[in-house]
Amino acid sequence: MNVACPECVADVKVAQQPELNEILECGECAGELEVISLDPLMVAVAPEAEEDWGE
Amino acid sequence: MIRVGIVGGAGYIGGELLRLLSGHTEVEIAAVTSSRLAGRRVDGGHPNLRGRTDLAYVSPEDLPECDVLFFTGSTVADREGRAALTARGKIVYDLSPDLRLADPAVYRRHYGEHPAPDLLGTAVVGLPELYRTRLRTADLVSVPGCMATASILALRPLSEAGLLEPAVTVDGRVGSSGSGASAGEMNLHAERSGVLRVFAPLNHRHQAEIAQATGLDVMMTATGVDAVRGVQVLCHATLSEDATEQDLRRLYRAAYQAEPHVRVIAQKRGNYRLPEPKILLGSNYCDVGFAIDPGSRRVLLCGALDNLVKGGAGNAVQCLNIRMGLDESLGLDFPGLHPI
């Protein structure tokens, strides 16, 4: 089973029986995705802190 | 076996050709020339090849008949000498700037008067991602410059789609091996170490190759950085129409999903979110990526590679594999090192 990455629209493989709040990783953009709904299956981007060496 | 000769094997590109070809299962290195080092072992100047070859350099006049020749340096100044060399090989891969530009006026602007302008435009550009079909039958191939290769591959998905305004600024960064193996004050460790040296503030010569391949109006800056190998190019451009990050990703994916030596790197997490030359050293990959400002049409298109491999010797070997009907990645499957 696949779901489209909301960030880059690449196909992301999902386990046979996903769990709510499970974290997936997109192979293309490396975004972390959280399963926010099981029926219908929906994922959302889990943001990460940005790097800033200029501070 | 394919008999190859390397004309000018003492420099860094020559050493890299030797490294790659000494592990190539379909190639026999028949001879390596050096006017300066004739009679000396090639693993003297290329110590990483100890135990891989017993070859010694020969004078260019002693180059034997070969199936394929690689020219690492300029040969056009001596017309008769070049003709004598090319007569000893059926197929020539020229890694020098000699044949990279088709227009004599453009060549003159960046390199001065060409000694043999009739040769310009006679070679197929050695960039498989753009000219694979022609490379299958080409007997004279000109391998592009390292920063040109990274820039062309970074720009191509959007330039081919007509999605870029013509004016593009390329900011190229390159390690010290990009300036060759010749001694000089500028290459003293005391002068090189720690620098971010803008050695070409405007009009770096590779911009002409980028413009020739993409049709864009390119201005290029080049900076020498404190690394031995590696190229990174940051191409600042403006979209000609509105587009989203997903639109750009679709174009990059379509351009490179079947390419064995180009990877699209535009990630949201991790230490290497955009193309980074450090993890490509020794490999024949060119990584390309992009970033878009959602509030404007400004984009950053990025490319990275090892200047001696995908930016030179590896690209030439990839062209050879295509020409000979071999697996395109034969001898080129090294993935790079991490950590390094």
Amino acid sitting at position A28: E
- Residues in A closer than 8 angstroms to B246, CB to CB, are 8-9
Q: Do A28 and B264 touch (CB under 8 A)?
A: yes
With respect to residue B338, please indicate whether it lies within any of the assigned structural domains: no
Rounded to the nearest angstrom, the minimum Cα separation between B245 and chain A is: 8
* ipTM of the prediction greater than 0.90, yes or no: no
Q: Do B245 and A28 touch (CB under 8 A)?
A: no
Question: Which of B249, B269, B273 lies closest to A8 in CB terms?
Answer: B249
pLDDT in tens, B220-238: 999 999 999 999 999 999 9
Best of B269, B287, B292 to disrupt the A interface (most A CBs within 10 Å) is B269
DSSP character string of B2-69: EEEEEES-SSHHHHHHHHHHTT-TTEEEEEEE-TTTTTSBHHHH-GGGTTT---B-B-GGGPPPEEEE
Give the tokens for residue B254. Answer: 């379509």
Q: Least CA distance to A25: which residue of chain B?
A: B269
- Statement to judge: residues B112 and B171 lie in one domain: no
- Statement to judge: residues B154 and B87 lie in one domain: no
pLDDT in tens, B254-299: 999 999 999 999 998 888 999 999 999 999 999 999 999 988 999 9
Q: SS3 of B184, please? A: coil
Rounded to the nearest angstrom, the minimum Cα separation between A4 and chain B is: 12
Phi, psi for B222 (deg, rounded to 5): -135, 135
CA B320 – CA B170 distance, rounded (Å)? 29
Q: Is B66 a catalytic residue?
A: no
With respect to residue B330, please indicate whether it lies within any of the assigned structural domains: no
Question: Whose structure tokens read 């040769």?
Answer: B119
CA B11 – CA A50 distance, rounded (Å)? 42
> Quick check: B334 pLDDT over 90?
yes
Instruction: Return the axis-axis angle of helices B12-21 and B314-323, rounded to nearest 10°.
Output: 50
B268 near A CB under 8 A: yes
- Statement to judge: residues B40 and B115 lie in one domain: yes
Is the CB of residue B126 less than 8 Å from the CB of residue B315? yes
Q: Do B246 and A28 touch (CB under 8 A)?
A: no
In this prediction, residues B147-173 reach a mean pLDDT of: 98
Q: Which of B14, B33, B139 is nearest to B81 (CA)?
A: B33
Determine the structural domain holding residue B292 and report its residue range: 146-307
In this prediction, residues B8-33 reach a mean pLDDT of: 97
Give the tokens for residue B7. Answer: 């004309």
Question: Which of B249, B250, B268 lies closest to A30 in CB terms?
Answer: B268
Q: Do A30 and B264 touch (CB under 8 A)?
A: no
With respect to residue B331, please indicate whether it lies within any of the assigned structural domains: no
Rounded to the nearest angstrom, the minimum Cα separation between B271 and chain A is: 9
In this prediction, residues A23-30 reach a mean pLDDT of: 92
Sketch the domain layout of chain A as residue ranges: 2-45
Q: What is the pLDDT of residue A51?
A: 63
Question: Which of A8, A9, A31 lies closest to B269 in CB terms?
Answer: A31
Best of A28, A34, A48, A50 to disrupt the B interface (most B CBs within 10 Å) is A28
- Statement to judge: residues B121 and B74 lie in one domain: yes
**Among residues of chain B, what percentage have pLDDT more than 70?**
100
Radius of gyration of chain B (CA): 20
Q: State the CATH number of the domain containing residue B219.
A: 3.30.360.10
With respect to residue B194, please indicate whether it lies within any of the assigned structural domains: yes
Q: Say if strands B140-142 and B167-174 run parallel, antiparallel, or are unpaired.
A: unpaired
Rounded to the nearest angstrom, the minimum Cα separation between B253 and chain A is: 10
Q: Least CA distance to B268: which residue of chain A?
A: A31
Q: Which of B146, B235, B286, B319 is catalytic?
A: B146
> Quick check: B87 pLDDT over 80?
yes
Give the tokens for residue A23. Answer: 């974290």
Bridge partners (DSSP) of residue B225 are B196
> Quick check: A53 pLDDT over 80?
no
Radius of gyration of chain A (CA): 13
Q: Do B245 and A45 touch (CB under 8 A)?
A: no
Q: What is the pLDDT of residue B186?
A: 79
Q: Do A8 and B264 touch (CB under 8 A)?
A: no
Rounded to the nearest angstrom, the minimum Cα separation between A28 and chain B is: 7
- Statement to judge: residues B48 and B159 lie in one domain: no
Give the tokens for residue B301. Answer: 């298109």
Give the tokens for residue B328. Answer: 């395109």
Q: Do B268 and A7 touch (CB under 8 A)?
A: yes
- Statement to judge: residues B137 and B153 lie in one domain: no
**Architecture of the domain delimited by A2-45:** Single Sheet (2.20)
CB-based contacts of B62: which residues, under 8 Å, 6+ apart?
A: B31, B33, B38
Q: Do B268 and A28 touch (CB under 8 A)?
A: no
Q: State the CATH number of the domain containing residue B24.
A: 3.40.50.720
Confidence of residue B162 (pLDDT cuts 50, 70, 90): very high
Is the CB of residue B209 less than 8 Å from the CB of residue B101? yes
With respect to residue B335, please indicate whether it lies within any of the assigned structural domains: no
pLDDT in tens, B143-152: 999 999 999 9
Taking the alpha carbons of B231, B127, B200, B154 in that order, is the dihedral positive or negative? negative
Q: Which of B145, B139, B127 is nearest to B262 (CA)?
A: B127
Give me the number of domains chain B comprises. 2
Q: What is the pLDDT of residue A3?
A: 93
Q: What is the pLDDT of residue B184?
A: 82
**Residue-wise burial string across B318-332, b where 16 or more C-beta atoms lie within 10 A, e elsewhere:** bbbbbbbebebebbb
C-alpha angle with apex B168: B164 to B169, nearest 5 degrees? 150
- Statement to judge: residues B200 and B95 lie in one domain: no
